[in-house]
Structure 1
Amino acid sequence: MESLEQIKKPQIVYSCYFTRSREGEQFVPEHVLSYQLAGTLVMNTGDQDFVFKPGDFRFIRRNQLVKFTKYPPEHGEFKAVSLYLDQETLRAFSFEYGYKAKKWQHDKTVLTLNPNPLYKSYMDSLVPYLQENQTISANLQSIKLKEAILILLQANPELKDILFDFTEPGKIDLEAFMNKNFHFNVELKRFAYLTGRSLATFKRDFEKIFHNTPSRWLLQKRLQEAHFLIKEKGRAPSDVYLELGFEDLSHFSFAFKKTYGLAPSKLLLA
């Protein structure tokens, strides 16, 4: 199977937004530990919503599809600190400390972590570096990431079997996966990876099952769902297009009109 390239991101990130913000591609390639400083973060995993307020801690498992919407407080800023625990760092930690994961099925995408003074003091120690735009050296960043892992293991020992599970996604039921996750805005190579296939095998298996190309099927599926939500549920087009994986409203409206003969706003009034 083709390997999925890693998304190059700083490993310790301070987020600050003045207006509501939505993420672009909704694929999480590495484990993420986050602390909400101000504002509200709403996350959707396809079948469950999570709401995080100031003071909340969260852990997101790697190789997951998740939608994020960031809401700043009134007259304020959305603020959060996130740590990306990459596989290289975790493998080195596992080797140094002798941690190994037991084989078990992880079913939770997002974990809400109970308040713990260790989490709070640790995150508070990062804020001065991040808010003052100081550069965290590679050596210091390595130490702080190791500290975060140690704190996670002390506060939530059960995370050992998630943190040190280095297996890649296995081949799964493609039809069931796509029908559940078609509304996530990710590239085809992400869908392929998460179903345990190379991109070429994914496309070949997809056409055998759906008798269509992935791109055409995704567009049709999303438009059908949009038609249902607007016509039957009275949803506004401006609300549903992002929810269903479209990049922008104009592209959604063009595709919708081409398929159904009228603009989505006209359907709402029909």
Structure 2
Amino acid sequence: MTELKTNPSRIAYSCYYERNRDGEQFVPEHVLSYQVAGKLTLSNADKTYVFGEGDIRLIKRNQLVKFLKEPPENGLFKTISIYLDQETLKSFSLEYGYQAATAGKSGEEAVIRLQDQPLCKSFMESLVPYVQGDQLINDDLQRLKQREAIMILLQAQPKLKDILFDFREPGKIDLEEFMNRNFHFNVQLKRFAYLTGRSLATFKRDFEHIFHISPSRWLLQRRLQEAHFLIREKGKAPSDVYLETGFEDLSHFSFAFKKMYGVAPSKL
């Protein structure tokens, strides 16, 4: 398994020899990505998205998303991605006068599929020489490709300006509802705090007021409860369940499970 990235990582190339679940589940910046080979499955609290060879997607920033990367038979999983960071987008907005016309809606898709966009596909394919081999790409050239990507996205779908140039940070939302929908994402507490519109200290205080337990203890118990349900009621294997419910490794999951339920998950 390998993952190659330019430095700095404005443009990234991923190449996997085997099935892989990515550990990073928080998307801090917009990502425009092209599926060169293999299948990618993305899932958030609400929906699952599946992308095959030739598909292009825009993953919106500030999302909790799980990744499953599957190479084709006797082949490699390959993607090319370009990151559209806030600094670059704000500079572009000032230079060209772009502004988000409408506030974001709660029902918006976390991942936008860009279908039948030959200009986008041609651009993404043109990035291949930039990411193959050991050559490091000049930062100014990477910035130029970022701006080109923004222009092409706006040409392909002008309404994307309401997403790309919406620079608001997450507002304060219902913490209980959010945590019950997103407990299975393996991210730090500061990510949960940020996405619910709180400082870490306020998040912990509000959390204990609502749940009467610390966030760390609640997350452990809630994940184990979900794992117990998936193994006992759905017949899933512990080796699949531990990642699905937010644990980093199988041994830690098995230890915590046995401590809570008095039996190893494999014996349930």
Counterparts of 1:25 and 1:195, CA distance in 2: 19
The answer as to whether partners of 1:18 and 1:76 remain within 8 angstroms in 2 is: yes
Counterparts of 2:172 and 2:199, CA distance in 1: 10
Counterparts of 1:120 and 1:102, CA distance in 2: 27
The count of residues paired between Structure 1 and Structure 2 equals: 260
Counterparts of 1:60 and 1:124, CA distance in 2: 18
Q: Post-superposition shift, 1:136?
A: 1.5
The answer as to whether partners of 2:104 and 2:162 remain within 8 angstroms in 1 is: no
The answer as to whether partners of 2:42 and 2:67 remain within 8 angstroms in 1 is: yes
Aligned with 1:92: secondary structure? Answer: helix
Give the structure 1 partner of residue 232 of structure 2. 231
The answer as to whether partners of 1:29 and 1:63 remain within 8 angstroms in 2 is: yes
Give the structure 1 partner of residue 60 of structure 2. 61
Counterparts of 1:191 and 1:172, CA distance in 2: 11
Counterparts of 2:8 and 2:202, CA distance in 1: 29
Is 1:75 aligned with 2:68? no
Is 1:121 aligned with 2:125? no
Q: Post-superposition shift, 1:51?
A: 0.7
Give the structure 1 partner of residue 14 of structure 2. 15
Counterparts of 2:203 and 2:68, CA distance in 1: 30
Give the structure 1 partner of residue 223 of structure 2. 222
Give the structure 2 partner of residue 37 of structure 1. 36
The answer as to whether partners of 1:57 and 1:115 remain within 8 angstroms in 2 is: no
Give the structure 2 partner of residue 4 of structure 1. none
Counterparts of 1:57 and 1:133, CA distance in 2: 25
Counterparts of 2:83 and 2:134, CA distance in 1: 18
Q: Post-superposition shift, 1:9?
A: 6.0
Give the structure 2 partner of residue 5 of structure 1. none
Give the structure 2 partner of residue 166 of structure 1. 167
Aligned with 2:161: secondary structure? Answer: helix
Structure 1 unaligned regions, length at least 5: 1-7
Aligned with 2:40: secondary structure? Answer: strand
Aligned with 2:266: secondary structure? Answer: helix
The answer as to whether partners of 2:103 and 2:166 remain within 8 angstroms in 1 is: no
Counterparts of 2:228 and 2:171, CA distance in 1: 34
Please show how residues 104-253 of structure 1 align to structure 2 within 5 Å: 104-106=103-105, 107-253=108-254
Counterparts of 1:206 and 1:9, CA distance in 2: 37
Q: Post-superposition shift, 1:87?
A: 0.3
**What is the one-letter code of the residue matched to 2:78?**
K
Structure 2 unaligned regions, length at least 5: 1-6
Give the structure 1 partner of residue 4 of structure 2. none
Structure 1 residue runs of 4 or more that deviate by more than 2 Å after TM superposition: 103-106
Give the structure 2 partner of residue 3 of structure 1. none
Cα RMSD of the aligned pairs, angstroms, is 1.1
Percent same amino acid at aligned positions?
A: 70
Deviations 1:122-144 (A, max 9, x none): 11211012113322211111111
The answer as to whether partners of 1:56 and 1:115 remain within 8 angstroms in 2 is: no
Aligned with 2:99: secondary structure? Answer: coil
Aligned with 2:240: secondary structure? Answer: helix
**What is the one-letter code of the residue matched to 1:188?**
L
